[in-house]
Amino acid sequence: MLPKMRGRVDYLPTFEAMQAFTAARTAQTPDELWLCEHPPVYTQGLAGQASHVLAPGSIPVLQTNRGGQVTYHGPGQVVAYPLINLQRAGYFVKEYVFRIEESVIRTLAHFGVTGHRVEGSPGIYVRLDDPFAHGALTGPRPAGDPFRGLGKIAALGIKVSRQCTYHGVAFNVAMDLEPYQRINPCGYAGLQSIDLSTIGVHTSWDEAAQVLGNKLATYLAP
């Protein structure tokens, strides 16, 4: 599965193309991995609540059929859409999510950053006080604020249809983060979103996309 760089493309036609690809594929259709960047857009998951969209302004809000709540896509973010036949790959949805998260963690490690999982909250987070610290998060997170001291650097939202996946993961590289302040990201009020640039890692979109694409191709392999 070789990553396909699609560049900057509008969200809605890409969403529709994923749906069409998945509906038309057969047991023999090769898996694909699309890497792209979207103009500013908010997307709502199936469980998305309008109350989590605080002040969208001129940024459109689009309903989707992925899991999860509202998130933001914009320039400077690598969005990866794995189109995987899970039956052929030989693993289930829970492991699929784990493998995507592991790909992001390994991508961050490539840039010297330590990524973390938060139980029950899909996506990858970094320590705001020291994103380069190698220690694991220890002990349970505070019940009232599981994201204390953390910033979210990658958001995950997937759809599985006939055991085939679409939607995927958004990895923040060098963005204008202000639009995140107009929503409750992933449904969590006060959750801070972060990118590589803000924590002092300066790289190009192309390099970040190449690294993430290679990691996903490796870790999503059967």
Residues classed as catalytic:
186
Helices 205-219 and 93-110 pack at an angle, to 10 degrees, of 140
Place of tokens 């784990």: 98
Question: In degrees, to the nearest 5, what angle opens at C-alpha 1 toward C-alphas 170 and 3?
Answer: 45
| Bridge partner list, 83 | 32
Residue 115 CB burial class (10 angstroms; 0-12, 13-18, ≥19): buried
3-state secondary structure 8-68: ECCHHHHHHHHHHHHHHCCCCCCCEEEEEECCCEEEECCCCCHHHECCCCCCCEEECCCCC
Q: Which two tokens stand for residue 106?
A: 């390994």
d(CA 126, CA 196): 10
Instruction: Tell me if residue 127 falls in helix, strand or coil.
Output: strand
Task: Find, among 143, 9, 150, 165, the residue nearest to 82 by Cα.
Answer: 165
